[in-house]
Amino acid sequence: MSTVLITGCAGFIGSHATDHFLQNGYQVIGVDSFTYAANIKNLEEALLHNSFTLERVDICNTEKILNICLERKVEWIINFAAETHVDNSILSDAEFIRSNIIGVKSLLDVCRKLGTKLFHISTDEVYGPAEHHSFTEEDKLSPKNPYSATKAAAEHIIESYHNTYGVEYIIVRPSNNFGPRQHSEKFLPTIIRSLRSGDQIPIYGDGKNIRDWLYVGDNVKTIHAILKNGSLNEIYNITFKNEMTNLQLVRKVVSALDKDFDQSVKFVDDRLGHDFKYSISNDKIAQFGIASKLNFEQNLLYTIDCL
């Protein structure tokens, strides 16, 4: 039975990955420092599982992570731990640099010493805004906000550790995730919370910015497929190509909750450096025969019920 260490295990995507890997027969060591974005309730299912161990550790604590990996013979570190909210990174990027760059360096130092492999979760935002095509994995990184810049920097450091020290890795770049357990600061939970409380939904600019929405369950299944069948030292985009404007997403949620659109929204000043469109290709993961079992609307309705 393979043993994996999942960082950020009490966060949104990390907790779903923890459940998925446990359900598929892995021994899972969950690591989380329990910042504001983590929630112990996200691990209710995992904590009942005999194959799960929880460690309250900061990924910057290299010695502690190294000892855990050594004692438990960890084959892969799957790194979900990150500061992720763009608005927060614009206000202050210090924690983003610490977690998303220094934290990744810490994990790489463990991998370098023990021969452990790193599976790193990046983001489609490292490419910057798309104009006339969907980005492939070979395209240049051109991040435009502090959050995405730290994620791009982490990727460069990972590749440098492979080139210099032989550390083996896989990097994935998923599009915008949504689903149960997502933190309240994110866009979709904000929409749902505002509608249920009778508040107006704040929409940046004219609401025409385009994002690509990926259900969290589909994301973690794809991550597992890539870990099992992907090639080492490669990068993979993860998307099911559900691109829509922010206004289109809002209209879907407003309709699902039977609210009046015009009374439910308010347009606010645009975010600083707001990327207009993210779009990535999924040609590379097509080799794995991955397809969403439920369509976007079904997953969205389920998420609305859960949040």
Q: Is residue 84 part of a domain?
A: yes
Residue 291 has pLDDT above 90, yes or no: no
pLDDT at site 42: 98
pLDDT at site 116: 98
CATH number at residue 104: 3.40.50.720
Residue 290 has pLDDT above 90, yes or no: no
Q: Based on the domain organization, do 26 and 161 belong to the same domain?
A: yes
The two structure tokens encoding residue 276: 């207009």
Q: Based on the domain organization, do 195 and 219 belong to the same domain?
A: no
Q: Is 132 exposed, middle or buried (0-12, 13-18, 19+ CB in 10 A)?
A: exposed
Q: Is residue 286 part of a domain?
A: no
What three-state secondary structure class fits 68? helix
Residue 47 C-alpha from the chain's centroid: 22
Q: Is residue 289 part of a domain?
A: no
Q: State the residue range of the domain holding 74.
A: 3-177+213-238
pLDDT at site 23: 98
Q: Based on the domain organization, do 66 and 195 belong to the same domain?
A: no
Q: Based on the domain organization, do 144 and 273 belong to the same domain?
A: no
pLDDT digits over 206-249, tens only? 999 999 999 999 999 999 999 999 999 999 999 999 999 999 99
- Backbone torsions φ then ψ of 148, nearest 5 degrees: -65, -30
Q: How confident is the model at residue 274 (pLDDT cuts 50, 70, 90)?
A: very high
Task: For the chain, give the mean pLDDT.
Answer: 96
Q: What is the pTM of this model?
A: 0.97
Q: Is 290 exposed, middle or buried (0-12, 13-18, 19+ CB in 10 A)?
A: middle
Q: Based on the domain organization, do 233 and 247 belong to the same domain?
A: no
Q: Based on the domain organization, do 18 and 144 belong to the same domain?
A: yes
pLDDT at site 307: 87
Q: Based on the domain organization, do 78 and 135 belong to the same domain?
A: yes
Active-site residue numbers? 124-125, 147
Residue 293 has pLDDT above 70, yes or no: no
Q: Based on the domain organization, do 146 and 191 belong to the same domain?
A: no
Q: Is residue 117 part of a domain?
A: yes
pLDDT digits over 54-90, tens only? 999 999 999 999 999 999 999 999 999 999 999 999 9
Q: Per the structure, how many domains does the chain have?
A: 2
Q: Is residue 30 part of a domain?
A: yes
Q: How confident is the model at residue 148 (pLDDT cuts 50, 70, 90)?
A: very high
Q: How confident is the model at residue 289 (pLDDT cuts 50, 70, 90)?
A: confident
pLDDT digits over 103-112, tens only? 999 999 999 9
Residue 1 has pLDDT above 90, yes or no: no
pLDDT digits over 170-212, tens only? 999 999 999 999 999 999 999 999 999 999 999 999 999 999 9
Q: Based on the domain organization, do 173 and 272 belong to the same domain?
A: no
Mean pLDDT within 115-139:
97
Q: Is residue 69 part of a domain?
A: yes
Q: How confident is the model at residue 288 (pLDDT cuts 50, 70, 90)?
A: confident
Q: Is residue 287 part of a domain?
A: no
pLDDT at site 132: 86
Mean pLDDT within 26-37:
97
Q: Based on the domain organization, do 122 and 264 belong to the same domain?
A: no
Q: Based on the domain organization, do 194 and 224 belong to the same domain?
A: no
Q: Based on the domain organization, do 272 and 195 belong to the same domain?
A: yes
Q: What is the separation, in whole angstroms, between the first and last Cα of the chain? A: 34
CATH number at residue 277: 3.90.25.10
